[in-house]
Amino acid sequence: MHIRVAVIGGGSWGTTVAHLAAHNAPTTLWARREDTCEEVNSRHTNSRYLDGFELHPDLRADADMAAVVQNADVIVMGVPSHSFRDTLEEVAGHIRAWVPVVSLTKGLEQGTRARMSEVANQVLPGHPVAVLTGPNLAKEILAGDAAASVVATHDPVVADHLQQIFNTRLFRVYTNPDVIGCELGGAFKNVIAIAAGMADGLGAGDNTKAAVITRGLNELSRLGESMGGQAVTFAGLAGLGDLLATCMSPQSRNRHVGEQLGRGRSIEEVIADMRMVAEGVKTCAVVVQLAEERGIQMPISSEVRAVCHEGATAEDAYRGLLRHDGSRLEHHALSF
């Protein structure tokens, strides 16, 4: 394959996707830190984020944005939501016409509440935009465990080409035209993962955690469908699949945040100790705001917001979640 891939962002997931793409196409990783680029090029590792894992030997890294972007046939954005727009504006100065942009970011932009594909369409009008999302934990993929993901885009030709770039023997990529649903599933599940982590931190049992995950899926599905996503998407890899992996895995940043909150630490302490971004901390406030505007009650997400932004404790949250609204009909209950 002669398509040249540029991955923007040298964190754990950006590096992992660059590693996957390098199996199928010449791939360059852009990272801000010169020492990260040097390590990727000389030792084929990124110990800052993925210590102990080897990267594809053909993967190259460069801190020069112009050099990385100007010859690329596909741009993959692997930066957090809060820096997505600014970084993409940097990319815009060097990208060639019609080059597709793929978002790896599972969050919503603060202030505008825009999905990342919407940000990309604003910054780079005319460029095809796609999303790569699913239950994908970076270290498991680098360890060689089988995984599946979804490329979401409205253009079936672009979807086919991207599928070929990211597909490997152990990383199966499916396509889905529901960009809205795939992006919202990826953003909303981080909020539920914080709630699941709080259950772990509080020492709650698996029954409780299963209830949180199941009712959480109901919340994200109702809000996602109200915003234009498709029900089948939320039942698939980009919805349920991603939700399960993020709620259960010790590798999940958002679950980790919840667990630490459940152990009594403050949100400020938890964030200060983290090297990587947990998108759900910011997303929870946006999710509840979106739900309120649509008249949708989301008790789990509301409790997460209260703990992350309003000074409530994890114990407060779980007392709140155990209140009943009087309904016992599963799919119509507003809490569990």
Cβ pair 193, 114 in contact under 8 A: no
| Residue 40 identity (one-letter amino acid) | V
129-133 and 147-152 strand pairing: antiparallel
> At a CB cut-off of 8 Å and minimum separation 6, what does 279 contact?
80, 81, 105, 106, 107, 187, 190, 253, 254
Residue 258 to residue 266: CA distance in whole angstroms: 10
Distance CA 221, CA 161 (A): 29
Q: Quickly count: other Cβ atoms within 10 Å of residue 134's Cβ.
A: 26
Burial call 142-178: b when 16+ CB within 10 Å, e when fewer:
beeeebebbbbbeeeebbebbbebbbbeebebbebeb
- Joined tokens for residue 87: 């970084």
Query: Which among 106, 189, 209, 282 is annotated as catalytic?
Result: 189
d(CA 134, CA 94): 29
Q: What is the DSSP string of 119-167?
A: HHHHHSTTS-EEEEESS--HHHHHTT--EEEEEE-S-HHHHHHHHHHH-
Q: For this structure, is 282 an active site residue?
A: no
Instruction: Single out the residue of 105, 82, 134 nearest to residue 8, CA to CA.
Output: 105
CB neighbours of 244 closer than 8 A, spacing ≥ 6? 135, 213
What are the residue numbers of the active site?
189
